[in-house]
Amino acid sequence: MRSLSAACLFLFSAALPAQANWSFAVHPHPDFTDEYSAEEDAIFSDLEAVGNGFRNCAARIMFEYLIYNRRYPEFAFTHAFNDGLEAWKLHVLKTGRASSAFCIVLEVTEELRELYSYDFATPTEGLFCGKPGRPYINAEESRIMGLLDRLVSYAATGHYFALPALAEVEDWSDIRLNPDIRYYVEARQARRYGNEPAPILRDTVIALQGKDRLAFVEDAIARNDLHAVIETSPPCSAFAPEALAKAREAARGDPI
């Protein structure tokens, strides 16, 4: 397939220093309403031949990234490959202008699931709570933190699949998000469909962090500003079981 060969050549192109002045608003990824060139049509044909499913996600992402670079050739010469790819992924998640958005998130979550299910049996308590906790202590934890950092950046776009994926890590790992971060994720996702999050999530923020913190998070939700909540959230250690037990004892006036 000619476009597949072109993709392979592109992957091995020289990496160049990244530049921050590229505008995706001026250079958006083409969507289904745009007119495609013959070469882009050929790429789409190859993409359809690849098929759907997680196993084909890497190919789908690369094919659509190749389409972007064919539409804007100068992009490949102003960004190092990995930097450009991650910047493009964020653009796709923010705008929904490529069908591989689902795959972009799924690649990260599936790799994390594999690490927690098979390769990494040691608990990672305190490593992450929606923000970095303690320093990582080995190569596996370093790999996990790199993936979680990407997942947070994807969730911050507000994409309908990326945002809940951040909270869903609690379902299959020992990670527990800070109450304010969990509330942000659940509330923003629920309100997308005209619903409200479970009342216990709101009550937990009030009980552990206060009404002022809840108001701050609500304002951040209105602005789609997950980073503001993460940056100002307490350290992971503040919500460790031991810390919460001490706080309860202090509130009752019991000796700590």
- The strand pairing partners of 132, in sequence order, are 128
Residue 143 has what pLDDT?
A: 93
Domain count, the chain: 2
Quick one: 211 and 235 in the same domain? yes
Q: Distances in Å between the alpha carbon of 116 and those of 109, 120, 173, 182? A: 11, 5, 6, 21
Looking at residue 16, what is its pLDDT?
46
Q: Which of 99, 118, 146 is the last residue of a domain?
A: 99
pTM surpassing 0.85?
A: no
Domain co-membership, 93 together with 174: no
Q: What's residue 253's pLDDT?
A: 56
Place of tokens 């790199």: 146
Q: Which one of 68, 99, 130 terminates a domain?
A: 99
Residue 137 corresponds to which tokens in the numbers above? 């202590």
Residues 245 and 175 reside in one and the same domain: yes
State both tokens at 175: 């990670």
Q: Are residue 94 and residue 192 in the same domain, yes or no?
A: no
Measured CA to CA, the distance from residue 239 to residue 202 in angstroms comes to 16
Which structural domain, as residue segments, surrounds residue 51? 2-99
Same domain for 121 and 200, yes or no, is yes
pLDDT of residue 125: 84
Helix ranges restricted to H, the chain: 2-11, 38-50, 57-71, 73-76, 81-95, 101-114, 139-155, 162-172, 179-192, 199-209, 211-223, 226-232, 241-252
Q: Same structural domain for residues 211 and 111?
A: yes
From 79, 99, 119, the end of a domain falls on 99
Distances in Å between the Cα of 225 and the Cα atoms of 163, 216, 233 are 12, 11, 13
Residue ranges of the chain with per-residue pLDDT less than 70:
1-20, 32-54, 118-123, 243-256
Given a contact cutoff of 8 angstroms between Cβ atoms, the answer to whether 238 and 130 are in contact is: no
- The per-residue pLDDT for 118 is 64
pLDDT of residue 124: 80
Buried b (16+ CB within 10 A) or exposed e, 183-201: bbbbbbbeeeeeeebeeeb
Phi, psi angles (nearest 5°) of residue 132? -60, 140
Q: Answer yes or no: do 31 and 117 share one domain.
A: no
CA distance 145 to 56: 25
* 244 Cβ neighbours under 8 A, 6+ residues apart: 208
Question: What's residue 30's pLDDT?
Answer: 87
User: Are the C-beta atoms of 184 and 220 separated by less than 8 Å?
Assistant: yes
110 and 82: one domain?
Answer: no
Task: Indicate if 127 and 241 belong to the same structural domain.
Answer: yes
The answer to whether residues 27 and 131 belong to one domain is: no
